[in-house]
Chains A and B, each alone.
Chain A
Amino acid sequence: DVKVTQSSRYLVKRTGEKVFLECVQDMDHENMFWYRQDPGLGLRLIYFSYDVKMKEKGDIPEGYSVSREKKERFSLILESASTNQTSMYLCASRPPGLAGGPHEQYFGPGTRLTVT
């Protein structure tokens, strides 16, 4: 079974703090993703990475950065946390390519971040 783990289930940070959210997958997947989930808005893509040291902006990258130094690990960084970044953050991974049809994304359990 694919396993995607996230470093914290719950996190409380103060405005202005630098926040690191860590994600690790154990299936050697090239593609990894960070989403935020807000009520009524579904999941929105923040950043994704298709290889080590590679990254691409998603739909809402402002206020976030990412790091992918190792294939299994993808970090989301909030340089200076703000209250509007209070949300649920979900990490996902996916194998490469589309041969045989689309591959599903495998999700971690999420980190609920509260910025006060």
Chain B
Amino acid sequence: AQSVTQPDIHITVSEGASLELRCNYSYGATPYLFWYVQSPGQGLQLLLKYFSGDTLVQGIKGFEAEFKRSQSSFNLRKPSVHWSDAAEYFCAVDKAAGNKLTFGGGTRVLVKP
């Protein structure tokens, strides 16, 4: 069965500092990969997705993610964090031609002024 691991439950970062959120998945083939963000009291919003091609994917709000097949990872990065980036971030995997997302446990990001 496929699984998604986000090793960091909480991350605290200073405003203006860089951010990297880790995501590892277990699946035999290359799945479709997603990062979602959930701001307090909100539903999930898609930040970016990967299914083929360039392994560095650009998303909204200045986020990017890099797919590394050899490490089964899809880490999310932002060069300079804003206070509004405080939220919970979820990595998700969708098997090719599947209809089900498997989510990681989430990483909650706190931004210090």
Contact = CB atoms under 8 A, between A and B. Distances in A.
Count class of interface residues, chain B: 20 to 34
Contacts of B49: 101-102, 104
Most B C-beta atoms less than 10 A away, residue of A4, A58, A92, A102 = A102
Nearest to A97: B97
Interface of B: 4, 6, 9, 32, 34, 36, 41-46, 49, 51-52, 90, 92, 94, 96-97, 99-106
Contacts of B100: 45, 48, 58-59
A102 B36 CA distance: 14
B108 to A, nearest CB: 9
A102 B32 contact: yes
B104 A42 contact: yes
B9 A43 contact: no
A90 interface: yes
Contacts of B96: 98
Contacts of A48: 99-100
A45 B41 contact: no
Given A42-B90, A102-B32, A107-B43, 16 more contacts: A4-B43, A40-B9, A42-B4, A42-B103, A42-B105, A45-B100, A45-B101, A58-B100, A98-B97, A102-B34, A102-B49, A102-B94, A105-B44, A107-B44, A109-B42, A110-B43
Interface in A77-105: 90, 92, 94, 98, 101-102, 104-105
Nearest to B97: A98
A110 B45 CA distance: 12
Contact of B105 (A41, A92, A108, A109): A41
Interface of A: 4, 31, 33, 35, 40-45, 48, 50, 58-59, 90, 92, 94, 98, 101-102, 104-105, 107-110
Contacts of A105: 44, 46, 101
B90 A43 contact: yes
A33 B49 CA distance: 19
A33 to B, nearest CB: 8
